[in-house]
Amino acid sequence: MRAPALLALFCGATFIALSPIWVRLADVGPTASAFWRVALAVPLLWLAHALATRGRGALRADWRMLVVAGIAFAGDLAFWHWSIQFTSVANSTLLANLASIFVTLAAWVLWRQVPRPLFLVALACALAGVGMLVRTSLDFAPRALLGDALGVVTAMFYAWYLLSVKSLRDRGVATLKLMAVTSTVTALALLPAALASGEAMLPRNAAGWLILLALAWITHAGGQGLIAYALAHLPAAFSSVGLLLQPVMAAAFAWLLLGEPLVALQFAGGTVVLAAIYLARRASRGTE
């Protein structure tokens, strides 16, 4: 197993786990922070793409599918950033990671790809874990339940994005081109939504801009880029387990930096959800 790829996987997961912390600390609205997350990363991604393809012909790509992926990612970010405002970081992140469940469900319903029996076990675990997390939110605050619901919607949009990305990767679209184009489309989709929402769009000071730059450069460009590199060099089974570090690290960061402790039921629900995600990813590697 290649050590650089392994390090990239864990660093990428850790960088992405910091994103809800940046969102909470940002002094702009949730939709605005989602916009800046991609908008500030776009120049960096296009520069990296230009350097990577210098001296070589541009790879043809399905632009319609790239636009679809960008719109799906816009929905993912917008709903997740709102979810983080209403519920705990742990709940929001865990529920957003249920995308693996929705990817397999979509393949089952839309393309009649019957999943392995293991997926049914994963689905049952997911429902049980979500029930525990929701029960915790009901004890915390009524509006936390809305945050949990938005987290589930986030997972649906993220599943749509993952299916689109898989289709593009299967057609040979390079990672940097995919990230640059979809991030541009996402920014263009989120800008009018942020302006229409009436949220604060601009940070009040330099510290506010630094938080948004960290969200864009460390989390989006750095985290997603490192994971894309790692996935190309590591076994799929190991990568699936390694990426479960992301919600765990997000909960740890929320505890350390935001003072969000995990109660017993929430810890149990999170463990069950992580098990469900792991089983779903194993089940998705085969159909019958």
Residues spanned by the domain of 148: 3-283
Do 216 and 23 contact (CB within 8 A), yes or no?
A: no
Please give the distance of CA 23 from its chain centroid, rounded to a whole number: 13
Place of tokens 């990817």: 103
Say yes or no to pLDDT of 237 above 80: no
- pLDDT for position 256: 92
Separation between Cα atoms, residue 267 and residue 281, nearest integer Å: 21
Q: Dihedral angle at the C-alpha atoms of 74, 24, 154, 31, nearest 10 degrees? A: -30
Q: Which residues contact 7 (CB under 8 A, 6 or more apart)?
A: none
- Give the model confidence (pLDDT) of 115-151 as tens digits: 888 888 988 998 999 999 988 887 777 788 899 999 9
Tell whether 181 is covered by a domain: yes
Give the other-Cβ count within 10 Å of 60's Cβ: 9
User: Coil, strand or helix: which one is 233?
Assistant: coil
Tell whether 148 is covered by a domain: yes
- pLDDT for position 288: 41
CA distances 4 to 49, 127, 229, 234, Å, are 21, 36, 10, 10
Q: What percent of the chain has pLDDT over 90?
A: 49
Separation between Cα atoms, residue 241 and residue 277, nearest integer Å: 9
Separation between Cα atoms, residue 76 and residue 54, nearest integer Å: 32
Tell whether 195 is covered by a domain: yes
Number of independent structural domains in the chain: 1
Beta bridge partners of 115: 287
Give the confidence band of 287 by pLDDT, cuts at 50, 70, 90: very low
- pLDDT for position 60: 57
Tell whether 174 is covered by a domain: yes
Q: Which residues contact 231 (CB under 8 A, 6 or more apart)?
A: 9, 239
Tell whether 288 is covered by a domain: no
Amino acid at 77: L
Q: Token pair of 245, please? A: 């570090």
Amino acid at 223: G
User: What global pTM score does this model have?
Assistant: 0.88
Give the confidence band of 25 by pLDDT, cuts at 50, 70, 90: very high
Q: Dihedral angle at the C-alpha atoms of 131, 76, 217, 251, nearest 10 degrees? A: 0
Please give the distance of CA 280 from its chain centroid, rounded to a whole number: 17
Q: Token pair of 3, please? A: 């050590």
Tell whether 201 is covered by a domain: yes
